[in-house]
Every structure is written in C-alpha cells, then in structure tokens.
C-alpha cells in the first residue's frame, strides 16, 4: 500500500483514475483469457481427432504398401516408387486470435504423371500413393494444430498471470491506498473545521468583550 503518498485531492483523483484503469484492464484481460481458453480447448479436441486420423491414415498406407509388395514384389515396388514424381508444397499463412499469431498450413501436391504404365501393375500401387498423400495432408493439419496449441497455451499462461496480478495485488493495493488517503483527507478536513470553529469562537468572544 502506498502509505507515503501525500494526502491531496489531486493524488486522490489520480488513485481513482488508476483504480478505474486497473479494473477496466482486469475486465478486458479476463475476457481475453476466456476467449483464449475456449479457442485452446477447441483446438485440443481437434488435435486429438487429427492425431487419431493421422495414425489411422499411416496404418492404412503402410498396410497398402505391404500388400503392394506382396503382389508386385519388393524389387518391382522399389522401381515403381523411384519413378513416382510428385512434388509437395506447404503454404504457410497466419490467423490472429486475440493478438496471437496462429499458423495455417495448406498442403498441395503437383503430380508429374504418368509415372509408369498401368499395364502389369495392380490398383494397389495407385491406392498406396493416394493413402500416403492423404496422410501427409493430415500431418500438415496436425502440425498446424500442435503449434497453435503451444502458442495459445503460452498466451493463456501470460494472461492468467496478468489477471491474477491485477486481481490480487494491483486492485486491492490501489483500493487500500484510496481508502487510506480518503480517511486522511477526511481527518484533515475535520481538523480544519475544528480549527476554524475554534478561531471563530475566539474572535466572537473578543467581540463580545469589547
């Protein structure tokens, strides 16, 4: 508590302004915290879903690859794989949530086919390529979610610290200082009135004596 602050009306007004500013800041930060927490929980739910989808997609792609090897043979499958010409590109952008920059990942593929003649191969080859392509897209989205969660969690932690500081330290301290100063000003005002009354009584007494 700022007990050494001189008890003046200007300091009293300054403390009232500080209290109003701190209260408004607390309200805004509390709203920000709520919005960030809702967004964070939403992304966590999505990340859990995408984690499962990525694991399933990779398992499906791996199974498809194993089946391709069984039907085509390891050597032929290796030769087919080396002939595949697909370029992947990740486009990164951002979106903002309460001032927090969150990434957006778009996965694109450019195919330079045909990679091989369809004669003498099974549909398993094309399916395997498709499964791995789908898995990569899901992994890009999962990476986006995980980075977003990390950034949001960091911002939520910072915002909670600020809210707690205002709620438990700044606002109570300012209120206590404001009350202390108001009490001191009231006491000074009472003493001033008593002194003025005493002076007035003495002047009136002298007038009556004359």
Q: Which residue has the higher pLDDT, 111 or 137?
A: 137
Q: What is the mean pLDDT of the chain?
A: 88
Whether this prediction's pTM lies above 0.85 is answered by: no
Q: Which residue has the higher pLDDT, 31 or 123?
A: 31
The top-level CATH class assigned to 9-167 is: mainly alpha
pLDDT surpassing 70 at residue 66: yes
What does the alpha-carbon distance between residue 57 and residue 138 come to, in Å, rounded to a whole number?
Answer: 8
pLDDT recorded at residue 48: 97
Q: What is the pLDDT of residues 129-183, one digit of tens each?
A: 889 999 999 999 999 999 999 999 999 999 999 999 999 999 999 999 999 999 8
pLDDT recorded at residue 104: 93
Percent of the chain residues past pLDDT 70, beyond the cut:
90
- Residue 22: count of CB within 10 angstroms of its CB: 19
Please classify residue 199 by burial: count the beta carbons closer than 10 Å to its beta carbon, then call 0-12 exposed, 13-18 middle and 19+ buried.
Answer: exposed
What does the alpha-carbon distance between residue 113 and residue 108 come to, in Å, rounded to a whole number?
Answer: 16
Q: Which residue has the higher pLDDT, 179 or 4?
A: 179
pLDDT recorded at residue 86: 79
Strands (E) in 32-173, as ranges, are: 86-97, 100-111
Q: What is the pLDDT of residues 31-40, one digit of tens each?
A: 999 999 999 9
Of 53, 50, 66, the C-alpha closest to 128 is 66
Find the mean pLDDT for residues 117-127.
Answer: 72
What does the alpha-carbon distance between residue 83 and residue 81 come to, in Å, rounded to a whole number?
Answer: 5
Cross-strand partners of 96: 101
C-beta separation of 69 from 147 below 8 A: no
Report domain extents, the chain: 9-167
């Amino acid at each position: 508590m700022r007990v050494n602050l001189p008890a003046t009306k200007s300091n009293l007004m300054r403390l009232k302004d500080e209290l109003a500013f701190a209260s408004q800041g607390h309200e805004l930060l509390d709203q920000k915290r709520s919005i960030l927490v809702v967004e964070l929980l939403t992304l966590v739910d999505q990340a859990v879903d995408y984690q499962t989808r990525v694991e399933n997609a990779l398992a499906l792609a791996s199974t498809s690859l194993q089946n391709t090897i069984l039907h085509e043979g390891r050597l032929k499958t290796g030769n087919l794989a080396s002939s595949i010409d697909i370029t992947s590109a990740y486009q990164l952008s951002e979106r903002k949530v309460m001032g927090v920059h969150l990434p957006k990942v778009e996965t694109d593929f450019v195919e330079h086919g045909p990679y091989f003649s369809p004669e003498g191969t099974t549909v398993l080859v094309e399916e395997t390529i498709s499964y791995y392509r789908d898995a990569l897209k899901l992994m890009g989205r999962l990476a986006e979610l995980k980075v977003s969660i990390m950034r949001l969690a960091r911002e939520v932690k910072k915002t909670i610290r600020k809210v707690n500081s205002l709620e438990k330290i700044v606002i109570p301290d300012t209120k206590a200082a404001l009350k202390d100063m108001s009490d001191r000003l009231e006491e000074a005002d009472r003493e001033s009135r008593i002194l003025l009354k005493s002076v007035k009584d003495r002047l009136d007494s002298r007038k009556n004596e004359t």
